[in-house]
Every structure is written in structure tokens, then in C-alpha cells.
Chains A and B, each alone.
Chain A
Amino acid sequence: EAGVTQFPSHSVIEKGQTVTLRCDPISGHDNLYWYRRVMGKEIKFLLHFVKESKQDESGMPNNRFLAERTGGTYSTLKVQPAELEDSGVYFCASSQRLAGANTGELFFGEGSRLTVL
């Protein structure tokens, strides 16, 4: 069974440019999460999809970030325009839907490293 895959693994762009990160969750996982780790800081929650709907986007830093999950399969996270402080590793994770349960087991991808110069 394929795990969570993310693309690209590393992206280097200049300030003001646009970058789109992609995440393919494990097949059949309704829950999809985006997290971000800025150098030396904690891994921070960005948002959570249940199928194609945004369940919680309270962690999105500002309106330069746009996440989509059309059709409830893969997801994209677009940063436009990118700023220096957006540099970090963006992790995607997925889990099966267990309504009302709190298993906490998320399956993570390797992350997409974003460097904004």
C-alpha cells in the first residue's frame, strides 16, 4: 500500500513568486492535514480536510495560503506571493475517518521543503 506522497520534495523560489505543493494521501483516507515546521520551531497545524470540505483552517497563517482538495482525493497548498518567513518544511498527513474517536495516528509524508530567497 502506498503511503502519503508529497511533491516537490524541495522547492527554491524567490520572494514574490508562487509555489504549489501537492499531497496524495493514502487511498481511502478521508482526513487530510497540512502542517508546517519552520526552522527550529514546532510543527504547526495549518488545516484539516474531511473529504473535500475544510473542517478546520484555523492554522492558516494568512490569505496568501490557499489549500484545495477537489474531489476529496489529492490536495494542493498554494503560497502566493511567497515571503521569506514562509520557508520551512510542509508536511501532509492523512487518516481514516473515525467519527467521534480520537486515535491520533496520522500517516505523514516526507514533507516538502520550501526555501524562499
Chain B
Amino acid sequence: GDSVTQMEGPVTLSEEAFLTINCTYTATGYPSLFWYVQYPGEGLQLLLKATKADDKGSNKGFEATYRKETTSFHLEKGSVQVSDSAVYFCALSDSGYSTLTFGKGTMLLVSP
């Protein structure tokens, strides 16, 4: 079945540091890929997505590129802020009704 593997956390960075959170996937079909973020005390919200190979999703300074050859969708940001502290979930959807398969989540802690 489908699965998503993302790096274990927590990831601890200083403000303005470069961020990479690795995500790889296995899927039977040609999935769409997503990053969701959960800020403290809130529900998950879509951060960015990509629906086909070589697409780059971007939002709020975060980027991720759909790499079919390496089955990866790594999340990057050039300069993190304290407000980026949250749990980040990589996910895929292999069905037409948007059922998502999630990774375990990676907690990011950014200190001033």
C-alpha cells in the first residue's frame, strides 16, 4: 500500500537558518503530494502541494519539488522564523476523493 516516510524530529534551528525536512513516498499510482502544517493549538492546514513530476509547490517562503525519479518531496525554506515552529506533515493522495496518506510528522522548533 501507499506510505510516506519523513525525517524524525524534533528539528531545532536558530532563526534565519536554512531548513530541509526530507520526505519520501511509495505509491501504487501517480499521487499528488502535499505538505501540511499544524501550528500549536490549531488544526492541520495545507502548506503547499504538487500534482505532477517536477512541479514545485511554494507558499510562505517554503518550497518542495515533486521528484518522481527519487520518489521524494523534500520541504525547504531559506530562512526560518520563530513563527515557523510547528509540526510538518508530508502526505500523498492516490485517490480521486482526496483521501490522504500521512507521514509521522516532523516537529520544527526555531529559537531566536
CB within 8 Å of B: which residues of A?
3-4, 31, 33, 35, 40-45, 48, 50, 55-56, 91, 93, 95, 100-111
> A110 and B41: CB pair below 8 A?
yes
Number of interface residues of B (CB under 8 A): 26
B96 touches A100 (CB 8 A): yes
Max chain B Cβ within 10 angstroms of own Cβ: one of A35, A106, A110, A111 = A106
Name B104's contact: one of A31, A42, A100, A105 (CB within 8 Å). A42
Tell me the total A-B contact number using a CB cutoff of 8 A. 71
From 80 to 104 in chain B, residues with beta carbon under 8 angstroms from any chain A beta carbon are 89, 91, 93, 95-104
**Proximity bits, B44-57, A CB within 8 Å = 1, else 0:** 11100101000000
Residues of A near B91 (CB, < 8 A) are: 104
**Beta-carbon contact of B98 and A104 below 8 Å:** yes
Question: A-B pairs with the 5 shortest C-beta distances?
Answer: A108-B43, A108-B44, A43-B102, A104-B93, A110-B43
Known: A43-B105, A110-B41, A111-B43. A102 touches B89 (CB 8 A): no
